[in-house]
Amino acid sequence: MSNAQAEEFKAAGNAALQAGKLTEAIESYAKAINADGTNHVYYSNRSAAYLKKGDANNALEDAKSTIALNPDFSKGYSRKGAALHALKRYNDAIAAFEEGLAKFPADAALKKGVEDAKRDRDGPPPSSFSGGGMPGGMSGLFGDNLIQQIMLNPKTRAYLNDAEFMAKIRRLQANPNSLTEMINDPRIMEVLGLSLRGAGGDEEDEEDKPSSSAASETSAPKPSPAPAPMKEEPAPVVEEEEDLSELTPEERKKREDAKAAIKVKERGNELYKAKKFDEALAAYDEASALDPTNMTFINNKAALYFTTKQWDKCIESCTEAVEVGKANRAPFEERAKALVRCAKAYQKKGDLGKAIDCCKEAQLEYYDKATERLMKNWELDKKKADVAAYLDDDKAEEAKQRGNEAFRNKNWADAVKEYEEAVKRAPNNAPIRNNLAAALCKIMDFAGAKMHIEKAIEIDPKYVKAWARKGDIEVLIKENHKAIESYKCGLAIDPTNAACKDGMRKVQTLINYASSTMTEEEKMERARHGMADPEIQAILTDPVIQQILKDFNENPQAANQAMANPVVRAKIEKLIASGVVQTA
Which one, of 252, 251, 286, lies nearest residue 268 by Cα? 286
Per-residue model confidence (pLDDT) at position 226: 42
Tallying the residues shown for the chain, one arrives at 584
How far is CA 368 from each of CA 322, 332, 333, 524, rounded to the nearest angstrom? 17, 11, 9, 59
Q: In the chain, where are the structural domains located? A: 3-129+136-208, 249-385, 391-448, 461-517, 524-584
With a CB cutoff of 8 Å and minimum separation 6, the contacts of 276 are none
Q: Taking the CA atoms of 323, 325, 329 and 334 in sequence, report the sign of the dihedral they define.
A: negative
Rounded CA-CA distance 468/436 in Å is: 14
The per-residue pLDDT for 247 is 67
SS3 content of the chain, % helix, strand, coil (to 5): 75, 0, 25
Q: Which stretch of DSSP H or E encloses residue 184?
A: none
Whether CATH 1.25.40.10 fits 391-448: yes
Q: What is the pLDDT of residues 498-539, one digit of tens each?
A: 999 999 898 888 877 666 666 667 667 767 777 777 888 888
- d(C-alpha 174, C-alpha 417), whole Å: 94
Rounded CA gap, 438 and 360, in Å?
Answer: 42
The angle formed by the CA atoms of residues 78, 81 and 85, to the nearest 5 degrees, is 135
The answer to whether 23 and 54 have CB atoms below 8 angstroms apart is no
Radius of gyration of the chain, Cα coordinates, nearest whole angstrom = 44
Fold category of 461-517 in CATH: 1.25.40
Q: What is the pLDDT along the chain (584 residues), one digit of tens a residue?
A: 456 778 888 888 888 888 888 999 899 988 888 877 788 898 899 999 999 888 888 889 888 988 988 888 888 899 999 999 999 898 899 999 999 898 888 888 889 898 988 988 876 544 433 334 443 344 455 665 677 677 767 777 777 777 777 778 877 777 776 676 776 777 887 777 766 655 333 333 432 333 333 333 333 334 444 444 433 334 333 344 445 556 678 888 888 888 898 999 999 999 999 999 999 999 999 999 999 999 999 999 999 999 999 999 999 999 999 999 999 888 898 899 999 999 999 999 999 999 999 999 999 999 999 999 999 999 999 898 888 888 999 999 999 999 999 999 999 999 999 999 999 999 999 999 999 999 999 999 999 999 999 999 999 999 999 999 999 999 898 888 888 889 999 999 999 999 999 998 988 888 776 666 666 676 677 677 777 778 888 888 888 888 888 877 778 888 778 788 888 888 887 787 776 776 65
524-584 matches 391-448 in CATH topology: no
pLDDT tens for 3-33 read 677 888 888 888 888 888 899 989 998 888 8
Helices (H), 328-445: 332-349, 352-365, 369-390, 393-408, 412-425, 430-442
Count CB-CB contacts under 10 A for residue 27: 17
- Give the torsion sign (CA, 507, 513, 516, 518): negative
Q: Indicate the SS3 state at residue 548.
A: helix
CA atoms of 27 and 25, how far apart (whole Å): 5
- pLDDT for 358 equals 95
**Burial (0-12, 13-18, 19+ Cβ within 10 Å), 431:** middle
Q: What CATH architecture does domain 3-129+136-208 belong to? A: Alpha Horseshoe (1.25)
> Residue 94 has what pLDDT?
93
Q: What are phi and psi of 426, to 5 degrees?
A: -140, 75
- Architecture of the domain defined by 524-584: Orthogonal Bundle (1.10)
Q: Which fold has domain 249-385?
A: 1.25.40
Number of neighbouring beta carbons within 10 Å of residue 333: 15
Rounded Cα distance, 379 and 272, in Å: 33
| Distance separating alpha carbons of residues 34 and 419, to the nearest angstrom | 56
